[in-house]
Amino acid sequence: MLFGNKKSFGLECSYKESIKGTPLGNICLWIKGMAVGDFSEHCNLADCIIHFNHLLKWRGKRADRHLSSLELGEAIEFLFSALYTDNNKSEEASILDWTLYEKVILLPTIPPFDGWFGVVLDEKDCQRIMVSKRFDKPIEYQEIICPPASYENHINDFFYWIAECIGRDQFNKILIE
């Protein structure tokens, strides 16, 4: 199933089966024709549901003047460093960075997205979606400017679809856990 489109911005997913209540399938995002994630990688879709649901609560609250002022590579590297690099920071500083920036983390940390880092920012009249493929050298960056709530609309479409596939009760159970 494809929500959105591959040439601009979309979310592609498939549902294979549920094992002991865990939905399994495939997922990736598309940004300007580039697959973000490995769609051939089988994964636990419950992890995606949990991550995406967490991000939905930040809808319209991901504005950051400093991040918006940075170029694509600068913004990605600033956030990646703040969230995942020690830089001799104190534990308090690391917790503060996480608290400030967890709301912009686009991608769950599950196998289809291994090696990828993504960010979604709410800007004045749009959303800025930025990704980088971390393990390739040089690091590959991509971004797209979308209408407001584009990301959330695709996530909501995914939620309706997966709830139909696995059943509303199972979907709600995943959200509660």
Whole-angstrom distance, CA of residue 137 vs CA of residue 61 = 33
pTM of the predicted model as reported, rounded to 2 decimal places: 0.91
- pLDDT on residue 134: 84
- The pLDDT assigned to 136 comes to 76
pLDDT per residue, tens digit, the chain (177 aa), is 999 999 999 999 999 999 999 999 999 999 999 999 999 999 999 999 999 999 999 988 999 999 999 999 999 999 999 988 877 888 898 899 999 999 999 998 888 999 999 999 999 899 999 999 988 788 889 999 999 999 999 999 999 999 999 999 999 999 987
Residues for the chain: how many in total? 177
Q: State the burial class of residue 80 (Cβ atoms within 10 Å of its Cβ: 0-12, 13-18, 19+).
A: middle
> In the prediction, which pLDDT does 89 show?
82
Q: What is the domain partition of the chain in residue ranges?
A: 2-176
Cα-based distances in Å from 4 to 7, 146, 152, 160 = 9, 11, 11, 14
* pLDDT of res. 84: 86
The single-letter code of the amino acid at 85 is T
**Cβ-contact 118, 130 below 8 angstroms:** yes
CATH of 2-176 among 1.10.760, 2.30.31, 3.30.519, 1.10.3470: 2.30.31
